[in-house]
């Protein structure tokens, strides 16, 4: 795994990118960033990372457009570059209805996996990133479409701020989502909790702001798993979850990220496999 660290200063000078022809080859930023020296908020860090991620986009690409607060900054930046003419011929494949609406409002041409089954690049945020660049995603509720689009991409660049780094997946103590069909959801919630009983996992049905069950874009429910300690074997856990009838998909994104861009108070790090 390689790691590139950039210190915050008035100007960050970075080198041109290599070809995007092979999956998980080292990625490099391509243009200078001007960063204020004042204290940065979490949103500032997200914007900084998002801008750097968009530097990997070239005209004519088919792009997977992620979902979430950080991904929204990415979509905004792509829209601005298209409007200015700095990017042309971009086609976006959104991972949620809200990303579709945002991209459409910015004039980004959109398509689906049906028309473009192979994408050049996907850019998205993550809820957790471990040292192996494995991820937890889906706290925004779009895990199924995100996984489909990002698995179909030749490159998958992840954009986070430093608060998303963990020593092991599940280590934040926050939700690891599992999308389940509505039919007999309590049955599957109980099975998911029993699956990790020794780890003391708590399973909860995700609720919307009005107290009703949260419904995904695919008309499913989400059961959130709360781990008290990091998952010992994420690969095995993912297989066990997927084996349960009625489970649609889970938020463990393993061996998928090509590179992770991390914005922190001291600079921007780019880690790649």
CA distance 198 to 205: 20
Residue 55 annotated to the active site: no
CA distance 196 to 250: 14
Catalytic, out of 77, 128, 146, 150: 146
Of 84, 79, 83, 128, nearest to 103 (Cα)? Answer: 79
CA distance 253 to 102: 24
Active site residues: 146
């Amino acid at each position: 795994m390689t790691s590139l660290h950039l210190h915050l200063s008035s100007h960050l000078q970075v080198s041109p990118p290599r070809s995007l022809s092979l999956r998980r080859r080292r990625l490099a930023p391509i243009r200078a960033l001007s960063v204020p020296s004042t204290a940065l908020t979490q949103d500032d860090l997200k914007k900084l990372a998002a801008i750097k991620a968009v530097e990997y986009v070239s005209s004519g690409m088919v792009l997977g457009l992620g979902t979430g607060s950080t991904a929204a900054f990415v979509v905004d930046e792509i829209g601005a570059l298209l409007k200015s003419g700095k990017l042309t011929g971009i086609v976006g494949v959104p991972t949620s209805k809200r990303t579709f609406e945002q991209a459409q409002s910015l004039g980004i041409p959109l398509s689906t996996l049906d028309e473009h089954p192979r994408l050049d690049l996907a850019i998205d945020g993550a809820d957790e990133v471990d040292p192996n660049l494995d991820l937890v995603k889906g706290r925004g509720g779009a895990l199924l479409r995100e996984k489909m689009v990002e698995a179909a991409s030749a490159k998958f660049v992840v954009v986070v701020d430093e608060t998303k780094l963990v020593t092991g997946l599940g280590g934040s103590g926050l939700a690891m989502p599992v999308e389940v069909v509505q039919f007999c959801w309590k049955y599957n919630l109980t099975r998911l909790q029993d699956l990790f009983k020794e780890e003391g996992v708590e399973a909860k049905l995700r609720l919307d702001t009005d107290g009703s069950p949260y419904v995904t874009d695919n008309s499913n429910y989400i059961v959130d798993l709360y781990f008290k300690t990091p998952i010992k074997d994420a690969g095995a856990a993912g297989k066990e979850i997927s084996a349960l009838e009625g489970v649609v998909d889970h938020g463990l994104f393993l061996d998928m990220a090509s590179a992770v861009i991390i914005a922190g108070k001291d600079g921007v790090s780019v880690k790649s496999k």
